[in-house]
Amino acid sequence: MNILCIGGGPAGLYFALLMKKQNPAHQITVVERNRPYDTFGWGVVFSDQTLGNLVKADEETARSILQAFNHWDDIDTHFKGQVVTSGGHGFCGIGRKRLLNILQERCESLGVKLVFETDVIDDQTLAAQYNADLVIASDGLNSRVRTRYEATYQPDVDTRKCRFVWLGTKKLFSAFTFAFEETEFGWFQAHAYQYDGDTATFIVETPEEVWLKAGIDKMSQEEAIQFCERIFAKYLDGNALMANAAHLRGSVNWIKFPRIICKNWVHWNTIVDKQVPVVLMGDAAHTAHFSIGSGTKLALEDAIELTNSFAQLGHEGMAAVLAHYQLRRSIEVLKIQSAARNSMEWFENVARYTALEAPQFAYSMLTRSQRLSHENLRVRDASYVRSFERWIAEQAFSKAGLPIPPAAQTIPPMLTPYKLRDVVLKNRIVVSPMAQYSAVDGVAGDYHLVHLGSRAMGGAGLVFAEMTCVSADARITPACPGLYTEEQTIAWKRIVDFVHSNTDAKIAMQLGHAGAKGSTKVGWEGIDHPLNSDNWPLISASEQQYLPSVSQLARAATRADMDRVINDFVKATKATSHAGFDWLELHCAHGYLLSSFISPLTNQRQDEYGGTLENRCRFPLEVFSAIRAVWPESKPISVRISAHDWVEGGITPDDAVEIAKLFKAAGADLIDCSSGQVSKAEKPIFGRMFQTPFSDRIRNEAQIPTMAVGSIFEADHANSIIASGRADLCAVARPHLADPAWTLHEAAKLGVTEIGWPKQYLAGKFQLERNLERERQIAVASSGLTPQQIAAKLLEG
């Protein structure tokens, strides 16, 4: 073939040399606009895994690259005057110019033609000039080729929130260094790493609003560099920061990162009577944020994959080769971009995490992409993880008012205690409320005793009853449990007493009202479909049908309806207390009645309960205030919300933070962060821990405890979430259906056979509980005495 590569960056050069090596008969030309052996930029980073891929692809090139690399294992995180070091990460740095020089030299040695100082204006004219059979568009971030054929490639370009600048310094860093500094304008962060014997890359990044407040947009390049030197002086040890883009004036070298992904990677042109494909590669096809150092990695691996596709499928023709290339690479790129997006968003929102203490802040930073989990870190640096687990355990036991275990005791984060108001959970694992459709006339029976009792015995710290309805017409189905009759209260008390008598788990009640999603068949007979007969009337925030043309029509709730509902919730709350539950949750999610008021998709009211978010939350907050007033002060109330409706025009994660703040102000103790099920038009994006980012935002922006839920199915997930401060509790649903002892079994996999508190501390825990109970009894018996007399009796013991 005649192959033309437009752009002499890593993608174009590496593909050219690999294809020339594969078949020396190929005539390959790389056209580059810059001068020979000239480039802009500082160092690039590869992981040890990427280096392994390069060795397999072309050992000679890889050997030259390896000889030029600066290798390190440690990451240093500097925050609030502390340094946290984590090892075993295995990264290499090399100067971008040196890397390109190596690739250029290798291309020349193989016979690839390199054409420099040629700015390609018309790719079709150039393709005709070289009689190209294949054109590689490796012309970078601002690809002219991608722009010219954007109707085919369909690029999605998302310009992000931070401004950043690539600088260099002669200060040498022994570890990959992240430094965070607060200024009068806001937070700045530096990403620094050594890439050769005497130079390091030093990237400075900050949100655009901070950048503008600091006035960097009005500074010259020299003034901006001096500004950065002052901020990060203690890390530079008197060394200057350097720019290598002298041709740029003012603040132009401070850019915003564009996240780019293309739907299609191949465009076909007719050039001199033949079909010639134009194939995107490297930054022209996709970008990955520099905070995970994968841009160059992706470019080189694009080249490897396309070369391999020719080797495997070349006999089937060009179309088959390119289809295979796009399929394989688009999947891999999506994985990297997903991790890069998580990492990028963490750095865009550093201020969100600055209330964390340095050890947890550093852990949060290390696990920001969700590619690196708790057990991944343990493999890389067991001593770091052991030390951090110790720190987490000390914090947790101290806050719970329990003796801190001995230093030798290893306690994974998910198995540390948690205290909210006066309720202490033995660990952070929660059995989610899961509808079982097994009640008779709203009464929880033997099924519920076994279902909830077995899971309480299975090791979880807190077990939730399914959503229990506050009136007969509040039920989802006729088989849903309730708390509106004395018989129902007695049935629930039997279950609560069993849990308390036979386990050290706590048990929670979730109260709700189905609203427009009520009067339906049980799940296995037709989920969300109305009953064939004996339907009851439904109410919602506004008139609606949950399933258009299928569901029963719900009418808009009147003031009288709302007063009745509040009264029903108050009665059910009192019954919950009488039954002995430790914890109460108000269900304001998933399109049920209270959720229907919150979401603009289901609330079109024109009165004081519609319109703004504050107005839409007014009725759910009235309900909350009413139940808080009658629920014991010593026990917590959590609120489940849909943090994302997954529908345009619905609730967004930004809204969810504000909703959480409103409930926090009303006295809520914790937000249970779910999403969706408000509209059948939803388009959720599923994946492991897919709802945890909502919990992360709410916990760290609204500053209220949270519970994460949704595709949490391994101890590694829960440990990572709790340790990083993304949630305080982890609710696990389906795994607990399959395995009531999920918590015990996951703990055993970690080598922990006594979950919750270590055995030697159980005696102290039970003694503490006995003391509290004795104090309560004395206080009741001595109610006619003065406080001084009661104190004297307590001392007498």
Catalytic residue numbers, as ranges: 592
Contact 713, 688 (CB under 8 A): yes
Q: Taking each helix axis from N to C terminus, what angle separates 59-68 and 48-57, rounded to the nearest 10 degrees?
A: 140
The Cα 491–Cα 73 span in angstroms is: 59
The contacts of residue 773 (CB under 8 Å, 6+ apart) are none
- What is the chain's Cα-based Rg? 31
SS3 640: strand
Comparing CA positions, the residue from 545, 543, 542 lying closest to residue 519 is 545
Kind of pairing between the strands at 506-512 and 462-469: parallel
Q: In terms of DSSP H, where are the helices of 214-294?
A: 221-231, 233-236
- Which of 206-239 are b and which e, b meaning 16 or more Cβ less than 10 Å from the residue's Cβ? bbbebbeebebeebebeebbebbbebbeebbeeb
**Helix (H) or strand (E) segment spanning residue 165:** strand 155-169
Q: What DSSP letter does each residue of 595-635 carry, written as one string? A: HHHH-TTT----STTSSSHHHHTHHHHHHHHHHHHHS-TTS
User: How many CA atoms does the CB half-sphere of 709 hold within 13 Å?
Assistant: 24
The contacts of residue 612 (CB under 8 Å, 6+ apart) are none
Token couple for 12: 């174009």
Q: What DSSP letter does each residue of 458-480 carry, written as one string? A: TT-SEEEEEEEESSGGG-SSTTS
Cβ neighbours of 157 (radius 10 Å): 13
The Cα 179–Cα 159 span in angstroms is: 24
Contact 5, 12 (CB under 8 A): yes
Token couple for 79: 């925050």
SS3 89: coil
